[in-house]
Amino acid sequence: MLIVIEKVLDAQEVQDFRERLSNARWIDGAPTAGTRSVSVKQNLQLDRSDADAVELGNIILRKLGHHPLFISASLAERIWPPVFNCYQNGGHYGTHSDAALMRLPEAGLTIRSDLSATVFLSEPEDYDGGELLIEDQFGAQAIKLAAGDMVLYPSSSLHQVASVTRGQRICAITWMQSAVAETAARALLFDLDQSIQALTPARPEDDPDINRLIHVYHNLLRRWASP
Ligand code: NI
């Protein structure tokens, strides 16, 4: 299940991010890849302790924490501090899967990565290549979004970032542990919730059918959630 969430950051915020990031201290991203991933990863990253990374990452986390579509789609319990990266001059990240367990000892944080997210910060017309290629049951999907938009996808999927052959592709990525680990169960809950949201405005308050659907939603969530 791939879900695009538009305008996580608005145009002004994207511009502010890009100004901050143009003066940031980019370092080689390969050392943070797993041992097998090192040979396929070629990009630049901000160090986790970098003041810009921490501050901008917190802005994204605050936005996501209040975003109804993100909450409904992810049912996120724990979110990894966003990582900023930059691909240019042929930079790419070959086919890989993300680590299942991620530990941040200094924050006392361990997450099981259920969902991965990429927030695009460069406009698609400003670079060639750089598609995020995600393999799902229907084949590889090529994702290249407007600046400020985000894609959510299962961390269990194989994925890659195609070579950037012109310009610069800057993005923020993060991972989250969901209250519902199973992708298929989470997808059903998301569909049900979205339909309830769509039907509710046209119905009277206290509509018995809507109430029953909400009842079903919460009892499925109760059955499947393991916070
Ligand atoms: Ni990845």
Residue 72 CA to ligand 1 centre (angstroms): 23
Residue 139 CA to ligand 1 centre (angstroms): 17
Strands of 92-96's sheet, edge to edge? 41-42, 92-96, 159-161, 132-136, 139-143
Give 117-162 pLDDT, tens digit per residue: 999 999 999 999 999 999 988 889 999 999 999 999 999 999 999 9
Give 80-122 pLDDT, tens digit per residue: 999 999 999 999 999 999 999 999 988 889 999 999 999 999 9
Residue 134, sorted as left (phi over 0), alpha (psi -120 to 50) or beta, turns out to be: beta
Give 192-218 pLDDT, tens digit per residue: 999 999 999 999 999 999 999 999 999
Q: Which domains does the chain have, with CATH numbers?
A: 3-178 (2.60.120.620), 183-224 (4.10.860)
Single pTM value for the model: 0.93
Whole-angstrom distance, CA of residue 115 vs CA of residue 186 = 11
Structural contact between residues 173 and 83, judged by C-beta atoms closer than 8 angstroms: yes
Which burial class, exposed, middle or buried, applies to 161 when counting CB atoms under 10 A from its CB (0-12, 13-18, 19+)? Answer: buried
Residue 78, pLDDT above cutoff 70: yes
| CA distance readout (Å), 62 to 59, 125, 204 | 5, 28, 33
**Could you tell me the two tokens for 108?**
């006392």
Whole-angstrom distance, CA of residue 181 vs CA of residue 77 = 10
Residue 20 CA to ligand 1 centre (angstroms): 24
Residue 97 CA to ligand 1 centre (angstroms): 6
